[in-house]
Amino acid sequence: MSEVRNVIIIGSGPAGYTAGLYNARAMLNPLMFGGYMSGGQLMLTTDIENFPGYPEGISGAEMMMQLRQQAEKFGLEVHDKDVSKVDFSSSPFTVTVEGEEYKSHAVIISTGAEAIWLGAENEDAQKGRGISVCATCDGAFFRDQEVLVIGGGDSAMEEATFLTRFASKVTIIHRREVFRASKVMLDRAKTHPKIEMKMHRQVKTWLSDDNGLTGAILEDPRDGSTEEIGVTGAFIAIGHKPITKFLDGQVETDESGYIVAKEHTMTSVPGVFAAGDVVDTRYRQAITAAGMGCQAAIDVEHWLENNIHN
């Protein structure tokens, strides 16, 4: 049987790296599977200006590299590979990666969540070049510009209202007439002088030139009629999906797939912990994910002391 690790961390965003740093400094010899696209959602953002300690801002990719270097310095072992399945039915747990099985007494799940993109024509080319899925991250880059927000839920209303701090005009488009957003957030957006709402519209094609986004062709789903809108920024706010499919239902999740924390950061399976956006339906910030990663690492230390190494 292969060596049994103290802790395997699955996922390499700020939650995972922070957990790795803490567990490495506690001499737990943690092993991380960071995914083929390690670094998480922040690899997609431009400058991060709201993480304390970086007065000049820092690019998402650079921050992830630094978090990784710091954790590796203290002994975190990172493999940029995806976990295909887990078996939490017996202890030690089994984590399968590229057909190979790894055993561990504890596991931290920090696989994050991914924003749902629209998948409209020309979208991939404009991701990070005018089209964003995070107003908190990228809103300040659109000072005095006209921007589009797509969605009819609380996220769309919140993003649109936040964007009015920077943008000269915010147009919300929603594909139907009924909104999922709560009344208070909808009313706040509806009555804001900088916000215009257009119902029965969805993005058919993103328009761009060498400098980035220039607008979009909008389509009315009822009759297929189209119109063009000129914007230099667009924020897709149609929801997030947590990355929990590989767990195959072994850990309790809510109806949207987010892991439910049972006792501090511990999940429904004792010895399995979760941190960051994979549990967080509310804050979804790098700093909150990092904080939760720290909490999970400390919870793992205590759990190992009380259950394995006692």
Binding site for ligand NAP (CB under 6 A): 118, 150-156, 158, 174-176, 180, 202, 238-239, 281
Query: Among 80, 87, 124, 134, which one carries the catalytic annotation?
Result: 134
CB 199 within 8 A of CB 174: yes
Residues pairing with 207 in the sheet: 215
Q: How many CA atoms lie within 13 A of 298 on its CB side?
A: 8
Closest to ligand NAP by CB, 95 vs 115, is 115
Q: Which two tokens stand for residue 117?
A: 């993109």
- Give the β-pairing of 212-219 and 226-230: antiparallel
Query: Among 47, 82, 137, 144, which one carries the catalytic annotation?
Result: 137
Sheet with 212-219, side-by-side order of all strands: 202-209, 212-219, 226-230
Closest to ligand NAP by CB, 86 vs 186, is 186
Residue 209: active-site member: no
- Give the β-pairing of 93-97 and 85-87: antiparallel
Shortest Cβ distance from residue 284 to ligand NAP (Å)?
9
Residue 87: active-site member: no
Closest to ligand NAP by CB, 105 vs 240, is 240
Nearest by Cα to 289 from 55, 110, 90, 44? 110
Shortest Cβ distance from residue 117 to ligand NAP (Å)?
9
Shortest Cβ distance from residue 115 to ligand NAP (Å)?
9
- By beta-carbon distance, which residue lies closest to ligand NAP? 153
Alpha helices in the chain (DSSP H): 14-25, 60-73, 123-126, 135-138, 154-163, 183-190, 286-307
Q: How far is CA 251 from the centre of its chain?
A: 19
Shortest Cβ distance from residue 136 to ligand NAP (Å)?
11
Closest to ligand NAP by CB, 92 vs 242, is 242
Cα 171 to Cα 144: distance, rounded to the nearest angstrom: 14
Cα 60 to Cα 42: distance, rounded to the nearest angstrom: 5
Q: What is the dihedral of CA 177, 183, 186, 188, to 10 degrees?
A: 150
Enclosing H/E stretch for 264: none
Shortest Cβ distance from residue 92 to ligand NAP (Å)?
36
Shortest Cβ distance from residue 113 to ligand NAP (Å)?
10
First to last CA, the chain: 23
Rg (CA), the chain: 21
Closest to ligand NAP by CB, 227 vs 263, is 227
Closest to ligand NAP by CB, 185 vs 286, is 185
- Work out whether the CA dihedral 48, 52, 56, 59 comes out positive or negative: negative
Residue 294: active-site member: no
- Work out whether the CA dihedral 214, 216, 217, 218 comes out positive or negative: negative
Closest to ligand NAP by CB, 239 vs 291, is 239
Shortest Cβ distance from residue 232 to ligand NAP (Å)?
21
Catalytically active residues are: 134, 137-138
